Structure 1
Amino acid sequence: MSTNPSASPRTAFRRFSVAMGFGSTSKAEVKPESSASAAATPSSIAKYLVDSKAAFLKDAEAAGNEKKWTVVLGNEAGDLDSVASSIAYAWFLSEVEKKPAVPLIQIARDDFVLRAENVYALGLAGIHNPSDELLTTSDIEGKPSFPSSSFFLVDQNRLASQFTGTVIGIIDHHQDEGLYKDTCTVREIVLCGSCSSLVSLALPPQMPAELATLLLTAIVIDTGGFKVGGKATDEDRQGTKLIPLTTLSEPTDVPFAPDALHEVAFIKKLNKDLQHRKSDLSHLGGWDLLRRDYKEYTHSLPWMEGQPTIKVGLATVPVALKVWGKKGKLEKDSVAWMKHRGLTVLGVLTTFTDEKKKKEKDKKGKKDDVKGKGKDKGKGDHKREMAWIILQPEGENAPTIDVPALASRLWAGLEESKELSPQPHKKFNLKKNGKLPSNAKGKVYNQGNASATRKVVAPLVKTILEGAPAASPPSAETEPQKEAATAKL
């Protein structure tokens, strides 16, 4: 954890009290399956979003406003945690601190369809037309100026290269990259399940019911409903403060004890509804799956001739490769996405449940029930895969990359990682498939440690690519076992 103690949100915002009257809006009778009449009622948060977006875009038409606005920026994956965190903290800056602020959602206006769980959660918070009510990248494209040089980062702690300005604050739950310590007045970086948990701790003791609802949905989906033994930490369990404020809870929803949140009836239902919407991706093809939960990084290669700087993309895909990537589709969609984004490296990180193993465990569980044992029932078999492609980027100003050397270094670094425990994927030999461009390299792994997420992969890749020159890195082209596992994205 890295913080600025004098400006920690948990300390700085304790001065707010219930007496201030924030969140005086009475609870709407909105349940996870909200009625049509409730869905037609705009929330106070929706009004704030519409008004701030309109004012921001008006100022974007004229120069000289760059010091007026603070843009609250979640990461480019556009997941519910980033959306909720950016909306909540922008509201706080505007309505409590009285500083003009607006949340910028880093997706295109038409991309809300990629995340049904986001649309559902926003609807519970009275935000029923997110593509119109929220500021997106589509809204700022082609503007003569960007009316802000001040950024507050949530759910990330590095400002993307396309933005220029000063980072004045950070609330994040990823690994601390140690940046902006001299410019941040708030710097709260804590490893926990959900950034929305940290944001909720930074807000007043009371807040609008719709905002509490939105933050809670993000915490619930990120922690699997506060699953015991899961991602939830003490910071996440302090989400109990949100429950009485939301539009979802009822007096019968007890207990609210932090260690018993997973047993609360409406949290169980909310988690089930959110996870169902998140997992139903049957309408999406490979291109959409890659861009649905995507993050991009810039890394320098000090060990390569010319010390080039490259772009690396990591796409988290909650569907097994065999479902959408067979017969060369993995390579085709991935290369198309890489060219679109100007990437040198793309990592596709899948996460899914092996339904065959799940059924086997369920069947075994039923048998064990007869014997008084039911340990394996319903657990399923969570799996992860990693597919990697390295490609010489195109374009007049694109750096020249030694693709074989970069591939050897990346493969060696990944395979040495005990945190990932990768094993060659037997069903995706990309070299054998012959579907990649001749100058590309690729490899696919089954990830032995299924609990290691992109939060583990991203810093590992940074270390591999930016570290000191590797001592005689093994070549994927000369080691028979590794060659057999070459699986291009």
Structure 2
Amino acid sequence: MTLSDFLLKSKTDYLNDVKNGSGREWTVVMGNEAGDLDSVASSIALSWVLSAVKKIPSIALLQISRNDLGLRPENVHALKLASLSTDQNEILCIDDLPSLTPFPSNRFALVDHNRLLSQFAENNSDVKVVAVLDHHEDEGLYKDTANPRMIVVPTGSASSVVTQYIRKEVLDGVERVSIPRELSDLLLTAILIDTNGLVPGGKGELLDHEAAAFLVPRSSILGSNSGLSNPGSTSGAISFLSTSSSETELHKLPSLRSLAEELSEKKNDISDLTSLDLLRRDYKQYAWTPSSSWASSSTQPIQVGLSTVPLDLRDWFLRDLTSTTSSDSEPVFWNSIDSFINQRGLDVLGILTTFRKHGKHRRQALFVINSTSEQEKISGLEKRIQEGLEGSEQLALKRKEISDMISKYLSKHLKKEKGKREEITKQIKDGEESVKHKIHLYKQGNAKATRKVVAPLLKQIVEGP
């Protein structure tokens, strides 16, 4: 059975059982709500091993709507490489399920995160998290119910953790089952994109290299340019990987290097995305209860959203400037921010940009505090967030003013167009002054600190003493 056939059959059978009231007989395998390639690949892989090896009815569920699948071209490309249909109809998305409360299943396996979101447990009796495979900070949950429970930090990709589990079950288990080549391809693409192609000095850890070394000879990635003496054969790949040092040499294989570059190019192709698309394409939301030491004991959990965007904020601002008219002189950027905050009910929105300039990796961080939220809560929240972020040695933030940042940028790129520079600068200032929220913009000194670093820091700031 191909991976496509497996997924389509699982989806059809699960939806039929949900319709017939038997959804609780299934284990739902979920990645996080950002829906990146790592979550997609690892959830599909774990659902396969639970179903094919453990004989447990399992279904991979993506926590994104079907319309959002196209926001990540790298996902679409990887799924195509894994021989799924062009519309990815085999995949179960969150909006493929009927709007039921409680959720129709009560057994969950978590990958690429380790806390079940509240909407899946709400009014849902006997909810049980039966597996956790992750690479994020361990929140210490489900130790009495989750088996396996593998949280490996640091690791570049959750798909590497899932691959390690598959290695154990497929190679060391009683039932020896061949992993589908398409699944090896899918896991490998996730690992490559999360580790910058496994290059030295990148995000790849030992487990990532070991996982890739396991997957390569079982994949269809190797072609005529693989760099192996017999690239099409499993034995040739295994021969290449037979020495202890070879696992960290995978990035030298031309076929893998080419694939990593291809995936990176797809990931960074955001030219057709609107500002709202950019905000929601790689987004996670958290609910943290503030400490009573600085907030009222009656304060509701604070809603914090973090969007990772592969675009320099300066380019984003300039791209979204609208022509000045009598009806609308605000940049689309700020309108989109306001709409996004209102749609999600956010108290805080953090935009974490990642891009390359002059051959170097750069990051910026823009935090928007919703000034229309409960004033007593927000007055303390803004100060705590500002002091907590600016005091973090791990992030090494440097405060910036938006208008100054744009003005310097324009001086370099529009040296001979003074009139245009002045017009754009005025639009930026007018837009900034019209914003109803509190804004804090930073240049991030530590470009290696991703959302996996920022989110725990913000949690500590909100919940701490």
Which of the five TM-score ranges fits, normalised by the shorter chain? 0.7 to 0.9
- Aligned residue in 2 for 1:381: 360
Question: What secondary structure does 1:146 align onto?
Answer: coil
Contact 1:349 1:385 (8 Å CA) reproduced: yes
Pairing 1:106-185 to 2, within 5 Å after superposition: 106-143=63-100, 146-164=103-121, 165-185=127-147
Aligned match of 2:188 in 203, 216, 221? 216
1:181 Cα deviation from its structure 2 partner: 1.1
- Aligned residue in 2 for 1:48: 6
Q: Report the CA distance shift for 1:313/1:282 in structure 2 as closer, same or farther (over 3 A).
A: same
1:341 Cα deviation from its structure 2 partner: 1.0
1:27-63 alpha-carbon deviations (Å, 9 max, x no partner): xxxxxxxxxxxxxxxx711111111111111122233
1:401 Cα deviation from its structure 2 partner: 5.1
- Aligned residue in 2 for 1:243: 216
1:351 aligns with 2:354: yes
Q: Report the CA distance shift for 1:182/1:221 in structure 2 as closer, same or farther (over 3 A).
A: same
Aligned match of 2:36 in 64, 68, 79? 79
1:397-422 alpha-carbon deviations (Å, 9 max, x no partner): xx665322210110000000000011
Aligned match of 2:398 in 423, 427, 430? 423
Pairing 1:198-217 to 2, within 5 Å after superposition: 198-203=161-166, 204-205=170-171, 206-217=178-189
Aligned match of 2:332 in 317, 329, 332? 329
1:285-316 alpha-carbon deviations (Å, 9 max, x no partner): 11000000001111001231123212111000
Identity within the alignment, %: 42
Question: What secondary structure does 2:118 align onto?
Answer: coil
Q: Which residue identity is paired with 1:465?
A: V
Aligned match of 1:284 in 273, 279, 283? 273
1:226 aligns with 2:198: yes
- Aligned residue in 2 for 1:480: none
- Taking the aligned partners of 1:216 and 1:401, their CA distance within structure 2 comes to 49
Whichever structure has more helix as a proportion of its residues is: 2
Q: CA RMSD in A?
A: 1.9
- Taking the aligned partners of 2:106 and 2:144, their CA distance within structure 1 comes to 16
- Taking the aligned partners of 2:137 and 2:72, their CA distance within structure 1 comes to 25
Q: Report the CA distance shift for 1:145/1:414 in structure 2 as closer, same or farther (over 3 A).
A: closer
1:331 Cα deviation from its structure 2 partner: 2.5
Contact 1:106 1:136 (8 Å CA) reproduced: yes
- Taking the aligned partners of 2:88 and 2:181, their CA distance within structure 1 comes to 22
The total of aligned residue pairs comes to 395
TM-score, length-scaled by structure 2: 0.81
Question: What secondary structure does 1:325 align onto?
Answer: helix
- Aligned residue in 1 for 2:20: 62
- Aligned residue in 1 for 2:451: 454
Q: Which residue identity is paired with 2:253?
A: V
Contact 1:314 1:346 (8 Å CA) reproduced: yes
- Taking the aligned partners of 2:102 and 2:20, their CA distance within structure 1 comes to 7
Shifted more, 171-180 versus 254-263: the winner is 254-263
Aligned match of 1:410 in 375, 385, 409? 385
Contact 2:35 2:64 (8 Å CA) reproduced: yes
Q: Which residue identity is paired with 2:401?
A: K
1:197 Cα deviation from its structure 2 partner: 0.7
- Taking the aligned partners of 2:107 and 2:396, their CA distance within structure 1 comes to 41
Contact 2:111 2:133 (8 Å CA) reproduced: yes
> Any unmatched runs of 5+ in structure 2?
122-126, 172-177, 232-236, 322-330, 405-427
- Aligned residue in 1 for 2:434: 435
- Aligned residue in 2 for 1:4: none
Question: What secondary structure does 1:243 align onto?
Answer: helix
- Aligned residue in 2 for 1:300: 289
- Taking the aligned partners of 1:335 and 1:131, their CA distance within structure 2 comes to 32
1:454 Cα deviation from its structure 2 partner: 0.4
1:144 Cα deviation from its structure 2 partner: 6.7
- Taking the aligned partners of 1:75 and 1:67, their CA distance within structure 2 comes to 21
Contact 2:61 2:92 (8 Å CA) reproduced: yes
- Taking the aligned partners of 1:221 and 1:269, their CA distance within structure 2 comes to 12
Contact 1:171 1:199 (8 Å CA) reproduced: yes
Contact 1:73 1:151 (8 Å CA) reproduced: yes
1:185-243 alpha-carbon deviations (Å, 9 max, x no partner): 21100020011011111112341111111000100111111110111111001120111
Higher relative contact order (CA 8 A, sep 6+): 1
Q: Report the CA distance shift for 1:387/1:446 in structure 2 as closer, same or farther (over 3 A).
A: same
1:345-380 alpha-carbon deviations (Å, 9 max, x no partner): 1100000011xxx2xxxxxxxxxxxxxxxxxxxxx0
Q: Report the CA distance shift for 1:402/1:428 in structure 2 as closer, same or farther (over 3 A).
A: farther
TM-score, length-scaled by structure 1: 0.77
- Taking the aligned partners of 2:13 and 2:376, their CA distance within structure 1 comes to 44
Contact 2:79 2:186 (8 Å CA) reproduced: yes
- Taking the aligned partners of 1:55 and 1:62, their CA distance within structure 2 comes to 11
Q: Which residue identity is paired with 2:288?
A: H
Q: Which residue identity is paired with 1:408?
A: K
Q: Which residue identity is paired with 2:306?
A: L
- Taking the aligned partners of 1:90 and 1:102, their CA distance within structure 2 comes to 6
- Taking the aligned partners of 2:113 and 2:266, their CA distance within structure 1 comes to 24
- Taking the aligned partners of 1:182 and 1:56, their CA distance within structure 2 comes to 27
1:403-442 alpha-carbon deviations (Å, 9 max, x no partner): 22210110000000000011112335799821322xx312
- Taking the aligned partners of 1:169 and 1:145, their CA distance within structure 2 comes to 21
> Any unmatched runs of 5+ in structure 1?
1-42, 359-379, 469-489
1:173 Cα deviation from its structure 2 partner: 0.5
Question: What secondary structure does 1:296 align onto?
Answer: strand
Question: What secondary structure does 1:179 align onto?
Answer: coil
Contact 1:73 1:104 (8 Å CA) reproduced: yes
Q: Where do 4+ consecutive residues of structure 1 move more than 6 Å?
A: 429-432
Contact 2:299 2:377 (8 Å CA) reproduced: no
- Aligned residue in 2 for 1:317: 309
